[in-house]
Amino acid sequence: MVAVVIGLLLTAGSPGPLSVTPFSLPSLRGGAPVSVPVVRHGTRYPVVVNFFASWCVPCQTELPQVATVADQLMSAGTKVAFVGVDGNDDPGSGLAFAEHAGVRFPIGADHLSEVAPRLGVPGYPATVFIDASGHVADVVRGPVKPATLRHWALLIALPH
C-alpha cells in the first residue's frame, strides 16, 4: 500500500523518509528547464531547494544569505546542488530580485505555486533539503539561518 501526502510519497507501514516526486520548471533565466533531481555527469546530487518570491519581505533578507552560502559551498567543491523556486510571482520581478540578491544557481519559475505545497511548504520563504537518493532530510519553513543552511547542505552532501 502506498500513500501520497501533499505530493510526497511514503510507503505505508515504513517509518522511512519521504521521497520527492521529480519536478521540472521553466528557468527564470530562459534555456533548459530547472529540474529536481539534479543529475550531473551521471551522478545524482543532493539538492537544497529554496522557495522565495520578490514580494516576500522575509525573502529579501534571506535570499542574499542563501546565495552567499551557496557560493561558498560551491567554491569549496561541496557535492550539493542549489535550486531556487520563484513562486506566485511576476517572472521579471522574480528574476530581478534573484539577480540583485546575487543568486547564481538555477531558478525555476513556479508562478502558480504548484511545487511548494507538494513539498509541504505552505508559504515563503522555505528551504527543503533533499539527499542524493531523493529523500527529504529536512524542511525549514520561514527564513533559514546561514548556519542551519550550511549544516544541512553539508549533511546531505555526505556519502551514505
SS3 (DSSP) at 97: helix
Neighbours of 150 (CB within 10 A): 16
Distance, in Å, from the CA atom of 55 to the CA atom of 63, rounded to the nearest integer, reads: 12
- Domain CATH for 139: 3.40.30.10
Residue 65 lies in a domain: yes
Number of domains in the chain: 1
For residue range 8-48, what is the model confidence (pLDDT) as tens digits? 333 333 445 688 999 999 999 999 999 999 988 888 999 99
CA dihedral 39, 41, 46, 51 (to 10 degrees): -50
Average pLDDT for residues 103-126, to the nearest whole number?
Answer: 93
Domain range enclosing 47: 20-157
Please indicate, yes or no, if residue 1 is contained in any of the structural domains. no
d(CA 45, CA 39): 6
pLDDT of residue 160: 66
pLDDT in tens, 124-153: 999 999 999 999 999 999 999 999 999 999
Query: Are residues 128 and 6 in contact, defined by beta-carbon separation less than 8 angstroms?
Result: no
Helices (H), the chain: 57-75, 91-100, 115-118, 146-157
pLDDT of residue 76 exceeding 50: yes
Place of cell 520561514: 142
Q: Is 73 helix (H, G, I), strand (E, B) or coil?
A: helix
Residue 54 maps to a domain? yes
Tell whether 93 is covered by a domain: yes
Looking at residue 2, its pLDDT comes to 32
pTM reported for the whole predicted model = 0.88
